[in-house]
Chains A and B, each alone.
Chain A
Amino acid sequence: MTLIKTTYNRRSFLKSGSLAGGGMILGFSWLASCKPTPEQVSNIPKEWFDINSFLKIGDNGMVTIMSPNPEIGQNVKTSMPMIVADELGVDWKNVIVEQAPLNTDIFQRQLAGGSQSIRVGWSGLRMAGATARHMLVAAAADAWQVDASEITVDAGVIGHTASNNSAGFGDMASKAATMPVPEEVKLKETNDFDIIGTDRRNVDGPNIITGKPLFGIDIQEEGMMIAMIVHPPAFGLTYKSMNADTVKSMPGIKDVFPIDVYKDDTEKQWSDAGSIDKLVAIVGESTWQCMQAKKALNVEWEESTALESTEGHDEALTKLLNTSSKQPARKDGNVASAFKKADKVIERTYSAPFLAHNTMEPMNFYADVTAERALFNGPIQTPEFLEKTLASRLGMPVEKIDIKMSRMGGGFGRRLYGTFGVEAAVISQHMKAPIKLVYTREDDMTQGTYRPTYKVKYKAGLNKEGNLIAWHVKGAGSNDDLLFENRFPAGAVDNYLAEKFSLETNVTTGAWRAPRSNFIAGAEQAFLDEVAEAAGKDPIEFRLELFDRAIKNPVGEPEKNDYDPVRYAGVLKLVRDKAGWDGSQRNGAARGVSAYYCHNSYVAQVLDLATDTKSPKVTKVWCAVDCGIVINPMAAKNQIEGGIIDGIGHATYSEMTFEDGKPQHKNFDTYRLIRHKEAPKEIETFFVDNGIDPTGLGEPSLPPIMGALANALYKATGKRYYNQPFITEKSVIG
């Protein structure tokens, strides 16, 4: 039996019994905020009972479950409530999901990032459902004067066989709300789950396919004006002056003015990284009028820091990799003497460019700031941190700031950095009116907060038997030192040295789907492929030998190694079997393999590439995933497929370059993203069924695919691909 305390973290998770007893919510307030489906309309309850922070039960048994975390397309709005519903014991068809507002007193970690929503939320969500079930059962036991342990709950029906009593959740909800909140509740055994582990379609699906206003950019409010910004055209430039007189008189334009997004005394949060502190704001009646004004406006900029170029970044990274760090990130054995003894030494360097996030919905935010209070609504991965910055910038206590979380048209890390929310606040405050700030694609793509540019140099030593005896890795990135020194193959090689360096640049950078891993996995897995070839071994067998070493006799303190070699080897074996791997060619297709661990999950992939066409065509990807318990397989596979397509696309086509500080790509005409024709023909995903608590899913499938692709490309072309993007104007495959 799994018992769990009903308090969570440092906060008391549940409202006290008496408060819960008074927590009746009238139907109309719910109706205003949620659009039920036609079938549900006929079942609208007359009264709602607030059982705990996560759910409300109507007098007709309909259950509203709050989804606490922001939705960026990772599908937590469906999967988090599924966890609550399973422990509650309600039929999923009687569940209505609502997006919770930001409320840090009630909910923990209302953040979308690091693939952690389900992993971190798991126990709390289960407890919420189980607690409500416990209170419903207690209410029934009291009403029927029977022993609670004899009461069963099944699909929203509470029953007691011996006394022949049965009641729906709705019948007991009112009484249940007055029951004391238990100090401890029993959770289901994992094999008793009946919602978790089943395919459930996206709860917002019907709204998406009919074009309902779900996204921040869709917000329309009475009296709302449109705002746009003009930011410096190059990193290193800052605002000097402008003449806005003619632009101010353009049709529909209300005002044009410079803004200090942050003041000197603004207490910034980590989520304010990449901010541009001085911008020009344009406010008008309509988006098109603002766009016209933006084009016509002449702003003068002045140089404040160096104007950098891609060539310079590349040279600086190379220079860093030619130095030695005084303090290696990790050192086992002695690589220098091992390389001297080695039969073969291989050294290779890999690189990748800056990348823009390019969420399909450009940055935007709604703000309505008055002297008394401030209301916000929009797409933000880090609402809690934005609220803190806003409190400081507006000089207003957080209690007077209300942030609603709209559905996000993609995140990928970009909306961790909510500077656009602060910009919206300052513009609304200036205008004394509600505004919706909207970035153009060009604003969005050239504003920064990019995936850093990276370079890594690997050196491996093999003995006569083809065993790996030395591994030296040096990694460098812009504003980021790249390496995870305790991940594989650390712990599997006697002589191991990891050195890392960070290049300071004024091109702003931030987390981008699977930070660091999104480059280092591909580089490491491509290098391992080359080393396995030099060792004369099959690339999967070569990796399994290393995992075997890490299992049986790990190098260094085992707890220091940041991976479980058994689970790592497990996904590799699973994908080997599923793909029928018996070498690197199959039915005329060139095959590549790769495996990686990040965000607490293990992924291994085999990728087949058609070799009969001029440009590479991925025909099939087999993907084995160990992320513990899978909440919603249909949606989980969607995440895996998306990560694979995203990874193939960015490794193959995408890059952001700079000349004199100016981003050289501003829109999708020259910034290339993967398209329909270039996507894999087929992706097949296999999950390891091990009953372990769930771990990350939104990110882990992206990093390794870059390696699998590079390895298949080698088999197809006879050429190794060291520098991303693999296809540029200069180098065309085929």
Chain B
Amino acid sequence: MANFSLKVNGKTQEVDVDPTTPMLWVLRDHLKLVGTKFGCGIAQCGACTVHLGDNAVRSCQLPVSAVGEQSITTIEGLSENGDHPVQKAWLEEDVYQCGYCQAGQIMNASAFLKRNPNPTDTEIEDAMNGNICRCGTYTRIKKAIKNASSISNA
């Protein structure tokens, strides 16, 4: 066990955990931030996507010991009132069915749009290909990302 000081959603938080513990479980079990989801544990489904700095990463493969000074943003911290352009676009399109994978989809989409504010369909598909949705909301996700892109650029 070891002590780690983490910057999560703008706040500094202390945890005492095994250094190999993936951030996914630090967030969910220790910091009680359960918006980040467990899907596969091997970085294949994207349900656990968070932002490390400005980059979308799979928190199930990110050991707490590797985080250091970098800031972490989870779905709970993406915006204060759920009004990030991507969140607004998701509401507008009524994207979700079961909703379980959507935090990961939103976190991946928001990091992607920051890098590429005016993506083409193909760029969206490439960027989002690592996020599985078993309910099959892919066409709505794509529409929502395009809408979010126009909200941000308005």
Residues on A lying within 8 angstroms of B by beta carbon are: 72-75, 199, 201-202, 204-206, 208-215, 217-218, 220, 226, 251, 286-289, 291-292, 358-362, 407-412, 438, 440-441, 634-635, 638-639, 641-646, 649, 667-669, 673-677, 679-683
Contact = CB atoms under 8 A, between A and B. Distances in A.
A359 B134 contact: yes
A211 B35 contact: yes
- Secondary structure of the B contact surface, majority rule: loop
Contacts of B125: 676-677
Contact of A409 (B30, B32, B99): B99
A291 B32 CA distance: 18
Contact of A217 (B38, B82, B102, B141): B38
Given A217-B38, A669-B44, A677-B129, A75 B141 contact: no
A197 to B, nearest CB: 16
A288 to B, nearest CB: 4
A24 B130 CA distance: 51
A654 to B, nearest CB: 11
With a 10 A CB-CB cut-off, give which of A226, A361, A407 has the most chain B CB atoms: A361
Nearest to B121: A681
Contacts of A440: 41
B69 to A, nearest CB: 23
Interface in B24-82: 25, 28-30, 32-42, 44-45, 47, 74-76, 78, 82
A635 B94 contact: yes
B137 interface: yes
B139 A412 contact: no
Contacts of A212: 35
Contact of A679 (B22, B98, B136): B136
Nearest to A213: B34
B6 interface: no
Contacts of B141: 676
Nearest to A670: B44
Contact of A360 (B18, B22, B34, B101): B101
Contact of B128 (A75, A641, A668, A676): A676
Contact of B139 (A217, A677, A683): A683
Q: Which 9 A-B pairs have the closest CB atoms?
A: A211-B35, A409-B100, A73-B98, A645-B136, A211-B75, A679-B138, A73-B97, A668-B44, A642-B136
A174 B106 CA distance: 44
A286 B1 CA distance: 13
Contacts of A680: 139
Nearest to A647: B136
Contacts of B135: 73, 360, 410, 642, 646
Interface footprint category on B: 35 or more
Contacts of A209: 75, 82, 87, 90-91, 96, 102, 106
B7 interface: no
A410 B76 contact: no
Given A199-B94, A675-B138, 19 more contacts: A73-B96, A75-B97, A205-B91, A206-B91, A209-B82, A211-B74, A218-B34, A287-B38, A362-B38, A409-B99, A440-B41, A635-B94, A642-B97, A642-B136, A645-B137, A676-B142, A679-B136, A681-B139, A683-B139
B29 A288 contact: yes
Given A201-B94, A644-B136, A646-B136, A215 B29 contact: no
B149 interface: no
Contacts of A643: 136
A641 B136 contact: yes
A189 B143 CA distance: 36
Contacts of B28: 287
Nearest to A683: B139
Given A201-B91, A288-B25, A412-B134, A210 B99 contact: no
Contact of B82 (A206, A412, A669): A206
Contacts of B98: 72-73, 359-361, 407-411
5 contacts: A208-B103, A209-B75, A360-B135, A646-B134, A673-B132
A164 B20 CA distance: 73
B131 A676 contact: yes
